[in-house]
């Protein structure tokens, strides 16, 4: 058996999400532009039949749908960009497991002091996270998508190095 398992940070999934949401923002902007052009055409066609209030409501209702989707796409893009920036700014490794204990995101805990190792959902439906809690109640976590290994591989290493006393509890993820 190797002396330790070192799991680094993997920026590729985060970079893929950034590219996906960047394309989504572009798409939403194009649909918003198409909506504006269609509404202008509709206004020129019906301008004699519409008063100012009807014109304003036409634009508000017509552009609200595209505008809301654009805002959602921008928020998702910003979140993905921040996640990628956090990965790129992080030095070292995400998880290190050996016979003495486990280290997650720079916090080292010996096996007897480990209270829990679990996967939990992030706030507001965020990415699933690997959380380490010590016996004093302090915890640290790292998003699972940041890791360059599969959770099953990490769980096997934790079970082996802790001699079966610790494992990754996945019950908090739900279905």
Query: Residues 93-133: pLDDT tens digits?
Result: 889 999 999 999 888 999 999 999 988 886 666 678 889 99
Percent of all residues in the chain with a pLDDT value above 90, rounded to a whole number: 39
Can you give the pLDDT at residue 124? 64
Say if residue 2's pLDDT is above 70. Answer: no
137 is written with which tokens?
């109640």
For 105, 114, 166, 171, the CA distances from 5, given in Å and listed in that order, are: 14, 17, 15, 24
Q: Where are the beta strands (DSSP E) in 124-166?
A: 128-134, 139-143
Per-residue pLDDT of 130-146, as tens digits, reads 899 999 989 998 888 88
Confidence bin at 175 (pLDDT 50/70/90): very low
Say if residue 55's pLDDT is above 80. Answer: no
Average pLDDT over residues 23-39: 92
Percent of all residues in the chain with a pLDDT value above 70, rounded to a whole number: 94
Can you give the pLDDT at residue 174? 57
Can you give the pLDDT at residue 173? 62
Instruction: Report yes or no on whether pTM surpasses 0.75.
Output: no
Confidence bin at 61 (pLDDT 50/70/90): confident
Listed as own residue / partner, the contacts of 114-119 with beta carbons closer than 8 Å and 24 or more positions apart are: 114/162, 114/166, 116/169, 117/158, 117/166, 117/167, 117/168, 117/169, 118/168, 118/169, 118/170, 118/171, 118/172, 119/144, 119/151, 119/168, 119/169, 119/170, 119/172, 119/173
């Amino acid at each position: 058996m190797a002396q330790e398992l070192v799991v680094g940070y993997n920026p590729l999934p985060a970079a893929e999400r950034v590219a996906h949401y960047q394309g989504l923002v572009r798409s939403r902007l194009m649909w918003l532009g198409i909506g504006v052009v269609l509404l202008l055409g509709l206004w020129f066609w019906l301008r004699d039949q519409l008063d100012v209030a009807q014109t304003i409501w036409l634009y508000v209702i017509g552009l609200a749908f595209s505008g809301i989707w654009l805002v959602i796409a921008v928020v998702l893009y910003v979140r993905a960009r921040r996640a990628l920036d956090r990965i790129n700014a992080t030095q070292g490794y995400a998880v290190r497991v050996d016979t003495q204990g486990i280290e997650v995101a720079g916090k080292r805990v010996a096996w007897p002091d480990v209270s829990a190792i679990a996967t939990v959902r992030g706030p507001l439906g965020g990415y699933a996270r690997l959380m380490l809690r010590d016996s004093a109640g302090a915890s640290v976590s790292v998003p699972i998508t940041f890791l360059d290994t599969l959770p099953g591989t990490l769980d096997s290493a934790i079970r082996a190095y802790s001699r079966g006393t610790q494992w990754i509890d996945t019950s908090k993820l739900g279905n």
